[in-house]
Structure 1
Amino acid sequence: MWVLGIDTSCDDTGVGLVRDGQVVVNLVASQASRHQGYGGVVPELASREHVQAIDPLVRAALAEAGVGVRHLDLIAATRGPGLVGALLVGLTYAKGLAFALGRPFVAVHHLEGHIYAALAHHPEVAPPFLALVASGGHTHLFEVPAWGTYRLLGATLDDAAGEAFDKAARALGLGYPGGPEIERLAAEGDPSRVPLSVPLQGQEGFDFSFSGLKTAVVQALKKGYAPADVAARFQQVAVEHIAQVVLRAARSTGHTTLLVAGGVAQNRALQARLQGAGLELFFPPRGLATDNGAMVALAAWRTRERHPGSELGVPAAPYLPLATS
């Protein structure tokens, strides 16, 4: 079975091809340079870039796989959450292709795509487990007791983790996206020199908060702390905050398996901190951590039995909770 997956939820145009659960092609047209001067994503610009990129990218993916469009058995696209204009580009394109070919269409939840990406190299993993999705637009911690069942344990109260990295990077005069830039600069700094506190100390729940940490970075720079030291401390505190919440949830639920998905999953400091915590960890392959079409195809393939018929009537949903219980 060949599955085409498309993701246009934010500023990357992602097209992926999966055959029988294995990623064959994963192409991403990044808009980072287009938005870099603004310090973040401009929704209208993102939508226009998707319109220009999507058809050539689908054609390139098919050519790389050595298949024609009529070889496709299933077509999928992200329906939400995300920027509504951007979502509509990929969703409309995929629906039109599915209708023209007479193939079934699956509308995929963006966060579910990220979760299945963490299982790309480990299809044998089965619930129950915890799933952390940390990216530029999302920071959610789920308990997954069974396939297709997601219990939201906690989420950010303000900025997403990746968004905080982007904003801190902007304050430090670094490029966009901010995560890799801060990780690079942090390697040159000493975190012990800057007094930033871990957010939400003493809470009993599983929520996250990064807005105050971002503000503390601005204040630390105004006080004259070295940018490399500020970057190092920011990264250390953000990672520790995530780790504390996740480990508290693991103790509370008794789960020992954790999937970490989304762009922040690429951060080596976060990976190292969690790897020392005694959990069985699964991270997405590096090319599948950020937004991409292959994760959408994987999710559609893994969940196709839950989607009888075709979902051509499903609308884009910029605000779409994943929790089912």
Structure 2
Amino acid sequence: MAQQTITTPLTFTVRRHPTELIVPAKPTPRELKPLSDIDDQEGLRFHIPFFHIYKNNPKMGNKNPASVIREALAKALVFYYPFAGRLKEGPARKLMVDCSGQGALFIEAEADVTLKQFGVELQLPFPCREELLYDVPGSSGILDSPLLLIQVTRLLCGGFILAVRFNHTICDGYGYVQFMTSLSEMANGASTPSTLPVWQREFLCARDVPRVTCTHHEFDEVADANDKIYPLDDIEQRSFFFGPTQISALRRFVPTHLKGCTTFEVLTASLWRCRTIATQPNPEDDMRMMIIVNARSKFKPPIPIGYYGNAFGYPAAISKARDICNKPLGHALELVMKAKSEVTEEYMRSIADLMGRIYTTSNPS
């Protein structure tokens, strides 16, 4: 059992049990499953972490949450067996999952700290996230690395933190929620997920005759002529909560013809405007805001229920810095809403064709 004392304003010790590989509870198919051309684009080839925080639940009795989740994970992997495989790269850098059943990484740990000690509002970046989601050496690669890592850290108060890291090429946020819902159902005694997973990645592959029919500014190469791209190490991370009162205050600046905007849209436009003003760019600089749009509802026929692959676009709203800074909020808001509306079925098909063309052109072999 590894032990490490953390040095932060909140000091506590995390004890980790030996890392395990959790394999599906039953035999699963051994096969190669190609990813879609939306899945394997360069910008998604990374691992993304999530943290789920649970208070003590008296109904759990003496049950060890790590044991419950470990068993549930093995059951869930029977249905989501690609998560137990490893990525391989084929011709033209095309990614595919070798459904080898090697397993997902699992870590059980204990920390001598309570949720209350983290503070009144437990929010990212909270102390010691690296210890609450241990980066197992060799686990964070893209090829031939585990696609899923889970750490369950029990706390002195009886609560626990469930940390999950997954390879983004395998699923998007919507797909992640679907998987975690299945995991929760298994932990509560279900034998089958309420929504069965669907692979069918060919649904979002490039067409036989690729044709890029839309403009995709999100893939533009943007030169940093004014040294205004800030290294991540120079950016302070903080969390802010916007409740009904704050959203209502922002909406007072929304012009009449845009009153139908969503909370996401008005908040995105406000943050875009505030950040632009704060960075004091050259007034003639183009400022960009990338917007994540779930495209599942855009297809006819629709993407099958249960599809957990990447099915989102991230169009770019673009404006001159002087307009973002000097014009009312409605200017940025209108651009955000317009960018979102551009994500259609044809837009997604066009992205898939563009990705297929990029990889084929850069890897002619």
Same fold (TM over 0.5): no
Q: Which structure: larger Rg?
A: 2
Higher helix share: 1
Q: Which has the higher contact order (CA 8 A, sep 6+)?
A: 1
**Band the TM-score falls in, shorter-chain normalisation:** under 0.3
Q: Normalising by structure 2, what TM-score?
A: 0.25
What is the TM-score of this pair, normalised by structure 1?
A: 0.27
